[in-house]
Amino acid sequence: MIAYIKQFKMFFIVLLVVSVLIISVIYSILDVEKPLPIYQPNRVDASLVDSTIQYKKKYHKIADFKLINQNGDTITQKTYDNKIYVADFFFTTCQTICPIMTDQMYRIQQDILHDDEVLLLSHSVTPEIDSVAQLKRYAIEKGVNDKKWNLVTGDRKQIYDLARKSYLVVKDDDSEDYGMVHTENFALIDKDKQIRGLYNGISPASVDSLLQDIKRLKREYQ
């Protein structure tokens, strides 16, 4: 038996090497990076979604919008055409989670500063307070780069509808004037205006995941 094994030693070595190579090839084929999920209203916390679309299972996209940024410029969907972007909701006089969220958005801004594919968009939930002048003061204070990051204000109902019917990140405060209770959520939006991720904007670890997912999403378009 030993002599038999010795006789076919080279054969077994070659067979082993070939087997390892075949297994490696199969593994590399199967180990293809999965695309990020596409978020639908029926799979998001119901408290963040308007009741009229909580049933929706597919084809959800960000609605068209027309808002004004910190420079008085009109910002629309066209501003974000063929762009990946991160969206959130805040207000400039917030003293709780907003400063932390803004710091994390600034961190994202610095990471994507020279990336022409990625932008940021922050919506005020108190548009009656956050005028263009107020947003500009806040932008200067927080180091906002106007070419990468728009802070926007506008019609309260439009912002409310965007928050609860498009981005799915804000709670209703049960008032009659489209009141919003903003959350710490950041939404990652792809070039097709679909939600591809929701993240905790006050958690550095969650924002780390967001930064990695931006890179993953970019690879989907390569």
- Rounded CA-CA distance 200/34 in Å is 22
- Looking at residue 176, its pLDDT comes to 80
Q: What CATH number does residue 77 fall under?
A: 3.40.30.10
48 and 23 in a common domain: no
- Rounded CA-CA distance 115/198 in Å is 21
117 and 28 in a common domain: no
50 and 26 in a common domain: no
The per-residue pLDDT for range 109-137, each reduced to its tens digit, is 999 999 999 999 999 999 999 999 999 99
Element spanning 150, H or E: strand 149-152
Range of the domain at 1: 1-32
Give this prediction's pTM. Answer: 0.85
206 and 118 in a common domain: yes
52 and 28 in a common domain: no
DSSP 155-204: -HHHHHHIIIIII--EEE-S-SS--EEE-SEEEEE-TTS-EEEEEETT-H
209 and 155 in a common domain: yes
88 and 195 in a common domain: yes
213 and 179 in a common domain: yes
Which residue from 176, 222, 219 is spatially nearest to 196, judged by alpha carbons? 219
166 and 144 in a common domain: yes
- 222 residues of the chain, pLDDT tens digit each: 555 445 555 554 544 444 544 544 344 444 468 999 999 999 999 999 999 999 999 999 999 999 999 999 999 999 999 999 999 999 999 999 999 999 999 999 999 999 999 999 999 999 999 999 999 999 999 999 999 999 999 999 999 999 999 999 999 998 888 999 999 999 999 999 999 999 999 999 999 999 999 999 999 999
Mean pLDDT across the chain: 90
Angle at 107 between CA 106 and CA 109, to 5 degrees: 60
- Rounded CA-CA distance 139/149 in Å is 9
- Looking at residue 164, its pLDDT comes to 97
183 and 88 in a common domain: yes
Structural tokens at position 197:
């991720």
68 and 5 in a common domain: no
- Looking at residue 7, its pLDDT comes to 55
Which residue from 74, 88, 220 is spatially nearest to 162, judged by alpha carbons? 88
DSSP, collapsed to helix, strand or coil, labels residue 131 as coil
